[in-house]
Structure 1
Amino acid sequence: MNKTVNINLAGTFFHIDEDAFDKLNRYLIAIKNSFTNPQSQDEIIRDIEARIAELFSEKLDTNKQVITMKELDEVISIMGQPEDYAVDEELFDDTPEGEKQQNPKGYKKLFRDIDNKYIGGVSSGLGHYLGIDAIWVRLLWILLTVFTSGTFLLIYIIFWILVPEAKTIAEKLTMTGKPVNISNIERKIKENYDEISDNIKNADYDKYGKRIKSSFVTFFDTLGKMIMALLTVFVKFIGVILILISSLTLIGLFIGFFITGISGMFGTWYTDFFNIVNDSVMPIWLLSIMLFSAIGIPFFFLFILGLKILVDNLKSIGKITKLSLLGIWLITLIGLIIFGVLQASEQAYEGNVIKSEKLEIRPHDTLYLAMVSNDLYDKEMKRGFNFSVKYDEKDNQVLYSNGIRLVLKSTKDSLATITLDKKAKGRDYLTAKNRANAIDYKYILDGNTLKLDAYFLTAIEKKYRGQEIEISLYLPIGTILNADRNTRSFHRNSNRYQDILENGDEEYYLEIQDGKTFCLNCPEVKYKQEEQEETDFNRVNWEDENWQASWKEGNKIKIDKEGIDIQILNEVDSVNVKVNHKGIKVKTN
């Protein structure tokens, strides 16, 4: 059971719930306090009370005689909050007109005018903003929608969603470009009072002042509510997605960078990796914090955005917090850019060192070629342009890499030649060249077997800067080559390297010829297959008698300066095709 209070509001008696009465009293006092100058204050308060009384009358019927908190909240939503009635003090002082700094014309802001709406109030709102009658805006919407195949209908819906409706008196005055001052607020209240009075006089008293809308307006009101309901569900779904994505990302970033940063302080394998590629003084833990801030802060704001979409009237994190996070994000972003520029500058130039040596391999000699590994570092022999940290015989850290490219070529010299092209990068050419010269690579000619290391080493203080080696082996024409199977991945090259050792020729005896090899012991099937593949790429010999015999008598192809003339015959029909500067002509008989 709730206690009720009898009140006299603008000459009308109402029964009101005690809690609602307390809130109404605080509401009117707050409005009164919002006027910093008492001039015209009492008159406006009387107008406000009169309008509230009319709105209360609309809420009551034969089955409801008491104003509760629900009806009061609905009235307050129509009347606006107390701060909407606040205006500048300079509008009430006695300062001469020429000394006042005000804009008597006010300024306009785009709102939807729901008081004069047909669908969503977009056209009437644009009419106020543009200073033209709303009917011309509506007509323009219709024409643009027709001539753009419905595109402007989508634009209308976007306006409907994004443009807020004018609810309070201050918003309605701003929408029409009128200054928010005492006289305009009073005038607006009186207009609303007169409108409500007319509605009550002309209303059906069985329904106590409920306004009768046309079926057209009612239809679009219902349609608008359905569209807004669907859009609300869709927007809420987007909010859930934003929260899920941002929260999972933040958790993953925190775990990943926290573990990386903490572990980096005590030393791990990826700490060694970072130190090898990092040439700045930035430690890995600081880089982890900067990366977490640069990536995590935007996702944190996405998380807040998702919460605001789901939770109405969510309390803001505060302007100071927002600006602080933005400042941290900008600082970390600038720091990461500087770090990236420094790292990129360390690989700006490429330098190389070329060393050549003659080998005692002569024409008609047989050379066995093989790659060798070192079990101390790795047993696998496969080319890979990457690196890892290993320990040598003295337990010192070294950089280990399989970035070796093997290229075989023929030479007309009497002796074979091996050329090592060591490559590396640096901030300048001399640094890159010195880094390339520091590459430690070995090979040995043991009798008639050339053993090439399948790896190379670099001092760890030289850091990893794209070090690699290209080995070019020039063999005299007539030399017999037998390459081990383990060389396959190292000489898998593109055509631009002009490597004469093809993949699949390993472990066969190959005779070195001028710019190619000839297999001496390849299976006959493989040899014929390769021969056929080579033949398929050769140009057709039009003078070949066997090819001519495959044509029926009377068939012909003639190519001269006049063009191309093709004639094909069969048992029934014939086709003649002529191609020249006049075009293509096809004739059938």
Structure 2
Amino acid sequence: MNKTININLANTLFHIDDDAYNKLRRYLESIRRSFSGTKGSDEIIADIEARIAELFLEKMENERQVITHKEVDQVIEVMGQPEDYMVDEDIFEDEPKRTHAEPASRAKKLYRDIDHKYIGGVCAGLEHYLGIDALWVRLIFILLAVFTSGFGLIAYILLWILVPEAATTSQKLDMRGEPVNISNIERKVKEGFDDVAEKVKSVDYDKVGNKVKSSSKTFFDTIGDIILFLFKVFGKFIGILLIIIGASTLVGLFFGLFTVGMFDAVQLPGVDFYEIVNTSGAPVWLVSILLFFAVGIPFFFLLYLGLKILVNNLKSIGNIAKFALLGLWLISVGTLIVLGIRQAAEFSYTGSVNDRTEMALEIPSDTLIIKMKDIDMDYSRDDIHFGRMTFGYDENDTRVLMSDEIDIKIRKSDDDTMSINIRKDADGSSTLAARDRAKNIEYAYEIDGNEILLDEYLITATSNKARNQEVTVTIYIPESMTVYFDDSTSRYIGRGIDNDRGYYRSGIAGQHWLMDEDGELQCLDCTDLYDDDEDSNGKGKIIINEDGIDIDIKDNQDSFEMKINEDGVKVKAKN
């Protein structure tokens, strides 16, 4: 059983057993003796301790893990022994004497270079990581900010928050891809970051390493390297794609939240209909915030995943932030589901009210003419539509809802009288609520001589909301009475009007129809192209109905000519 000791190394608390502690203490004391009297020795020792603390943290699986003799040996192997390096003033003038080969350059890590920063050091850090001059990186961010509605600014701020700064000497060496050991730490502190960087560049370790590797590299090793490189390139492409998608969505949601949702600074077409459709009681700003979190949080993690793919040492946002965002997302989605259920409940039931009235024409034997009355003289309408509903204003500028959801039907009456039935329908959370909303629909008609003038729109107060309000006008006429649908009714004629021509809805308009004893309309003035009668003179006929097109050649006619062009369809029998 070993005794454990708590130590504070670079302001980080570690649990270490007694044997490992003694070895680490002797190691650090030997380093202090090596740098005794050296310029900047205190800073060198502090940076070495910070690097050792980083290595310990990398090897620990949890914060309660005890550092053992094994971890201390691994750290010493990475850092090296002080006697392995020359630490005198001539270290850069002569080749240092060493008992083992200096390790080659390793992969760079992304840090913010605060020594050469203008704002946050992001661009200076990217210069080291990407190998691109910081001037060009800054120019790219500026262009993105100007030409992509702030994307460059958002990306810069996110990198500023998520990318750690190179504060210690070991982090600065990581930023340049240099080995972090006693020798390099001592170099950075004694000679300064810029001077050492130039001298390190003068030694082409990559070239030396490549020569050594090339002597033992096989063909299959090369193929493996190529495949690995392609996978890395594909991964980087995926990371860039995720960043673009995530950042673009967040920018769009951000501007939508603070312009349309929060402050109503931008009047987008159709936004006014939110209050007309909404019955949940939630204001638009609250729904905007909930949508921002419900949609934005997943895309934020998508953006974060893309950054993790591109940046190896990207600073974690922490478990607290992750679980907080997850909880916020669950709350937002759950609240939206509740509001959606409440909203759907408003359309669960349909209520109807009927108003049937007998009519009397001035000349009962005359043709009944059905027309639509233009109410634009009484109401002005908005150009923005929600389905078939729109806003309107009466002569007092009172805002109302208007809809052209009007269906006209014709039926045979049971007696010799004429009547008109106005049925109003609307949806609601219950049948009674729906019927009450239907009663509040305003719809009128006029009888002028033998003409029935029907309103083109139904009217209701905005407080009744948009709940599928519609009106069905059913006109009952006696047998043998003639009715004429004016062309203005073509878009309002309803389904299910039986007629001998099989015309559907708008096709009935513009013709005179006679009501027969079976309740079917007989056309009195339809163009006689479909009848097989004496006047056809053996020229054949074309029948167009629900079964398709039937072309019949009559008598001795064995051919005909049919032309279809921009002028329509032309059929001509050939002699």
Q: TM-score, normalised by structure 1?
A: 0.54
SS at match of 1:503: helix
SS in 1 for 2:492: helix
1:461 aligns with 2:463: yes
Distance 1:527 1:241, change over 3 A: farther
Q: Determine if contact 1:373/1:379 at 8 Å carries over to the other structure.
A: no
Match of 2:230 in 1: 230
Alignment of 1:244-263 (within 5 A): 244-263=244-263
> 1:416: how far off?
2.4
CA distance in 2, matches of 1:227, 1:258: 47
**8 Å contact kept, 2:270–2:386:** no
Change (3 A) 1:299 1:367: same
For 1:366, the aligned partner's letter is T
Shift of 1:219: 3.7
Residue type of the alignment partner of 1:436: A
CA distance in 1, matches of 2:394, 2:71: 95
Cα distance in 1, alignment partners of residues 498 and 231 from structure 2 = 59
| Matching of residue 321 in structure 1 with residue 321 in structure 2 | yes
Match of 1:278 in 2: 278
Among 533, 545, 555, the alignment partner of 2:543 is 533
- Inter-partner Cα distance in structure 2 for 1:537 and 1:299: 53
* 1:225-270, Cα deviation, whole Å (9 max, x unpaired): 2111111111111111111122221122222232112444999985
Matches within 5 A, 1:30-429: 48=77, 72-74=102-104, 218-264=218-264, 272-360=272-360, 364-374=365-375, 375-378=377-380, 386-411=388-413, 413-429=415-431
Q: Does 1:518 align with 2:518?
A: no
Instruction: Provide closer, same or farther for how the CA distance between residues 49 and 328 of structure 1 changes in structure 2, counting only shifts above 3 A.
Output: closer
Q: Which piece of structure 1 moves more, 466-475 or 338-347?
A: 466-475
Residues 364-385 of structure 1, C-alpha deviations (whole Å, 9 max, x = no match):
530111011212325899x995
CA separation in 1, counterparts of 2:70 and 2:419? 105
Q: Distance in 2 between matches of 1:43 and 1:505?
A: 95
Aligned-residue offset at 1:442: 0.4
Aligned partners of 1:364 and 1:478 also within 8 Å: no
Cα distance, 1:512 vs. partner? 2.3
Q: Which residue of 2 aligns with 1:563?
A: none
Shift in Å, 1:289: 1.2
Q: How many residues align?
A: 390
- Cα drift, residue 497 of structure 1: 12
User: Which residue is 2:23 aligned to?
Assistant: none
Within 2, Cα distance between the matches of 1:518 and 1:417? 20
- Please state how far the C-alpha of 1:489 moved relative to its aligned partner: 0.7
Q: Do 1:356 and 1:418's aligned partners in 2 also have CA atoms closer than 8 Å? A: yes
After TM superposition, give the deviation of residue 415 of structure 1 in Å.
1.9
Checking the alignment, whether the CA contact within 8 Å between 1:409 and 1:500 is kept in structure 2 is no
Distance of 1:433 and 1:255 partners within structure 2: 41
Q: Greater Rg, structure 1 or structure 2? A: 1
* Change beyond 3 A, Cα 1:219–1:480: same
| 1:316 aligned partner, one-letter code | S
Corresponding letter in the other structure for 1:503:
S
Name the residue aligned to 1:508: 511
Question: CA shift at 1:447, angstroms?
Answer: 1.2
- Helix, strand or coil at the partner of 2:506: coil
**Residues 479-515 of structure 1: per-residue CA shift (max 9 Å, x gap):** 1122111111111537899997743342232222334
Instruction: Kindly indicate whether the alpha-carbon contact (under 8 Å) linking 2:445 and 2:452 is maintained by their aligned counterparts in 1.
Output: yes
* 8 Å CA contact retained: 1:349, 1:425: yes
- Could you tell me how far apart the structure 1 residues matched to 2:216 and 2:497 are? 80
Report the CA distance shift for 1:23/1:369 in structure 2 as closer, same or farther (over 3 A): same
Contact between 1:357 and 1:417, CA under 8 Å: does it hold in 2?
yes
- Give the CA RMSD over aligned residues: 5.2
2:172 corresponds to = none
Distance 2:521 2:95 in 1: 108
Counterpart residue number, 1:183: none
Cα 1:379–1:294 change in 2 (3 A) is: closer
Question: Structure 1 524/286 Cα, relative in aligned 2: closer, same or farther at 3 Å?
Answer: same
Q: Distance in 2 between matches of 1:352 and 1:327?
A: 44
CA offset at residue 344 of structure 1?
0.8
Indicate if the aligned counterparts of 1:280 and 1:339 stay in contact, CA closer than 8 A. Answer: yes
Residue 516 (structure 1) shift: 3.1
Amino acid corresponding to residue 445 of structure 1 in structure 2: I
Worse-matched range after superposition: 25-34 or 355-364: 25-34
Cα deviation code 1:39-67 (max 9, x no counterpart):
867995899599999x99xxxxxxx9758
| Cα distance per residue 1:154-187 (max 9 Å; x no partner) | xxxxxxxxxxxxxxxxxxxxxxxxxxxxxxxxxx
In structure 2, relative to structure 1, the CA distance for the partners of 1:273 and 1:316 (3 Å cut) is same
Partner SS state of residue 424, structure 1:
strand
Q: TM-score, normalised by structure 2?
A: 0.56
SS across alignment from 1:491:
coil
Aligned counterparts of 1:535 and 1:388: Cα–Cα separation in 2:
36
**Given the superposition, is the C-alpha separation of residues 263 and 273 from structure 1 closer, same or farther in structure 2, using an over 3 Å criterion?**
farther
**Residues 350-397 of structure 1: CA distance to partner in whole angstroms, max 9, x if unpaired?**
11112222222597530111011212325899x995322222233322
The SS at the match of 1:279 is coil
The secondary structure found in structure 1 opposite 2:368 is strand
User: 1:431 & 1:462 partners in 2: Cα distance?
Assistant: 10
**What percent identity do the matched residue pairs reach?**
33
For 1:76 and 1:311, locate their aligned partners in 2 and report how far apart those are by CA, in whole Å: 15
Give secondary structure in 2 for the equivalent of 1:408.
strand
**Distance in structure 2 (CA, Å) of the matches to 1:341 and 1:486:** 40
- Change beyond 3 A, Cα 1:276–1:22: same
Structure 2 segments unaligned to the other structure (5+ residues): 1-29, 32-39, 86-93, 108-208, 559-575
Deviation, structure 1 residue 439: 0.8
Q: Per the alignment, do residues 459 and 72 of structure 1 end up closer, same or farther by CA in structure 2, a change over 3 Å counting?
A: same
Could you tell me which amino acid in structure 2 is paired with residue 260 of structure 1?
V
> Contact between 1:366 and 1:479, CA under 8 Å: does it hold in 2?
yes
> What code does the residue aligned with 1:365 have?
D
d(CA) in 2 for partners of 1:417, 1:500: 24
Cα distance in 2 for partners of 1:371, 1:441 equals 12
CA contact 1:52–1:75 (8 Å) conserved in 2? no
Residue 536 of structure 1: CA displacement?
A: 9.7
